[in-house]
Chain A
Amino acid sequence: MKIVLAGNSVRTGLIKSFFENEGFEVLLAGTPKEAKASSDGYPVIIVGSSVIPGFLIDDGYAQRVIAGLEPKAPAVMLLDRETETPSFIWDLVLKRAVGIAAGKRHVYVLARSVRTEFPGLERSYSKARAHGVTFIKYEKVSVVQNDAVSAVMIDDGVMTLEIETPLLVDCAYTEDRSVLEYAEALRLHTYDGGLINADRWFLSPGRTSRRGVYYIDAGLAMSAQLEKILLSIADEIRLMAEMDVGPAAKIDPRKCAFCYTCFRLCPHGALYPDDSAVSMSVRHNYCSGCGICVSACPANAIELTERSEASGKRQTDHSKGTVAFCCENSAAIAARTVLPDNCVNVIPIPCGGSIRASQIAAALREYERVIVAVCNDGACKHFDGNKLASRQVERIREELASINIDPQRIMYIQLSHAMPNVMHNMVDNERNRAL
């Protein structure tokens, strides 16, 4: 099985040998262009390389530095100076602090907050304390750096303290921004000004917005977490090759107008212009079956296999008066929990973005009211599906207003499965209003 390692990290070699041991054939891609070219056929793993202070990760270097110091002078590790220090750096800091303290040298660890959320850190703290490492929480810090000795002034709001030290280690960690070029080339969705994987619950571990494209920060290479992440990625790649693809987009080449609308809108980068024919094609490994392309295609050339039949052609009871199109990731679960069977026709849809104007229009002909219930902002598994749905609803409301039909017959709400009463209340209020 082949995979592609992209990015220029110093630890690419280490990760390469890990995957080779796991039985993969590893290709390397050193530029975004190469990564893009290989991404068509194989899973891609982007390796970023955030910078960790060499003193913390290189034992030899650290020992040389310490050996050159005058005996008994204290060492100071300064954390959280400008930005907050991530927990896994604490792991390195504590190990190094214990190492220095074991050589009969006093160590101060200065931080705004003590991190405890990383597994195993508590044991490292007790070990460091047993070795005589001093921990101080500060609120303000100022540093005067000279050639030989630095003066660190700290203030915790009640007391101030000045420490003079020949060894001041700033434990700041710099994030690797160069991976963003890869992200752009591979058309990955980014969050909050350039985070590839901002801890979205559906994007862990190491997953990105595209199936088959992964992102690892090799800054983690020293921590025990990295191997776990690599193992789970290896498992997932193997599984993906074996699994049936499930519901996916299917394009009718006779209808396709080659207009690139689906290419632009697909959040997973699954649709691409096929040079050999005059039709778009689907990368089945990447398609999540959200149906956003189905609703966007102006030529009605795309349909979903499997799932569309289950949801679209469902028998519904028109006497109920209300129909609810519910995203199956959130609203459909909430509706199953709280709505009694006999008040609303619930139609599950794979994503809010898959709802078509024609579907709503058809529903308006048969029902008194139409509810479109989708995920909260930021919770959509397909990134912008809820916003697409909201725009679709706005457009139809405008249309309705222009032909003198009450636009409030279409209702739009955002919710998650864990707040079902919001759904229940809306239906209740509507019914009371109708009575």
Chain B
Amino acid sequence: MKSEHGDPMKNVLIIGGGLAGCTAARTLSGFDIPSVILESSPSLGGKVRQFGCKSGSSCSQCGVCAAGNLWDEVERDENITILLDSSLIDLRKEACGFSAYIKSGSDFIEKSFSDIVLANGFLDYASNAKTALDMDRSESILTGMDLERALYRRTASELFAEPPKKVAYVLCFGSRSVKEKANYCSRVCCGYSTRSAKVIRHYYPECEITFFYMDMQTTNALSAFMQDMNEPGIRFIRCRPARITVNGNDPEIIYEDSGVLARETFDKVILCGGIHPNSDNVTLSDLTGLRVDENGFLEYVKPPEKTHVYLAGCVSGPKSIRETVAEARDVGLRIAQISEQDGILA
């Protein structure tokens, strides 16, 4: 299928080298459309690259495997140019496409592109909040990202350095909360908390696990899975904890149980943090003319086929790995199809 689809006029700028950006680049490359990935950090892969496997005794369909070989494939792909440590300084609309002014390391590059894909991802709320709330002095309070790293680093016999006896998950940490300016569901934390809880039980079968939750979003993939969670040692408490503090070395949660205030100490508290909009979104909205919605995510004003600016991944709202991959592939296919139509018209 090479060269048939190749369109010399097409050159796509992808902002963000995470799962969405890399998937879109690979899809475009399948049609021989060159792309440039702009990544602000020193390596490709974004947050998903740090995610660990959530299988205990068997696979729990978390979707991390969808990323599997992607980073290597992108690095090897001749159609894809990767600019690390780079950022977009300015973007100018021209008669046919865009002119982008890019800072890459200490160099400045000016280049023309036909389409822009925004895939700059999300802000991990829990990691920031943990620092702000002075919780980071306790190593026993983990964020979702910390847990993912632990899952990635695990060995056959060990998940944490010390076997925990009591673990608490705090769901909806920084989401579904007007106070945190995030009046929406993060849509991933039910999934990763229940899946990783099973891994913890797989390593430490005696470990007691408590979930502080609002509503479990368990219907689709998770419903069969949740039935297994109905076992001794796993508690579900429907409330939002009033406070999380550190008592000596151990974290303590103060919460309401049937109308009474209760205190409980745990070995580990896992904050299942929300997906918050990236701080770049406002700048990108100014540069591209897209709108910032009431939650701070970007949304289309006109159909992207008209403006040639596309959104992929969590830049437009919380999404699971599976949804991100589907959307990024969709964006790639749409750009490729338009390029086919252009070819026919020319």
Contact = CB atoms under 8 A, between A and B. Distances in A.
Given A122-B183, A377-B58, A419 B154 contact: yes
B219 interface: yes
A198 B222 CA distance: 10
Contacts of A199: 61, 220-221, 322
B219 A377 contact: no
Contacts of A85: 219
A309 interface: no
Contacts of B63: 201
Interface string B50-76: 011101011111111110110010000
A350 B281 CA distance: 41
A204 B153 CA distance: 28
Nearest to B222: A199
Interface string B136-174: 000000000000000111111000000000000000000
B156 A376 contact: no
Contacts of B66: 201-202
Interface stretch (A69-77, A398-406, A420-428): A420-428
Given A84-B218, A122-B183, A198-B221, A418 B64 contact: yes
A85 B55 CA distance: 26
A216 B333 CA distance: 21
B10 interface: no
Interface stretch (A29-37, A163-171, A295-303, A328-336): A328-336
Given A198-B61, A198-B221, A419-B53, 14 more contacts: A117-B220, A137-B215, A199-B220, A201-B321, A204-B322, A232-B326, A377-B57, A378-B59, A378-B60, A378-B61, A418-B51, A419-B151, A422-B156, A425-B156
A417 interface: yes
A175 B312 CA distance: 32
Contacts of A205: 326
B176 interface: yes
A243 interface: yes
A416 B64 contact: yes
Nearest to A84: B219
Contacts of B51: 418
A82 interface: no
- Assign chain A's interface to a size class: 35 or more
B77 interface: no
B247 interface: no
B212 to A, nearest CB: 14
Contacts of B223: 84
A83 to B, nearest CB: 8
23 contacts: A85-B219, A116-B176, A116-B215, A117-B220, A199-B61, A201-B322, A232-B330, A328-B69, A329-B65, A330-B65, A333-B69, A336-B72, A376-B59, A377-B57, A377-B59, A378-B59, A416-B53, A417-B65, A419-B152, A419-B154, A421-B152, A421-B154, A422-B156
Nearest to A413: B156
B64 A87 contact: no
Nearest to B238: A137
B229 interface: no
Contact of A419 (B52, B238, B322): B52
Interface in A84-115: 84-87, 113-115
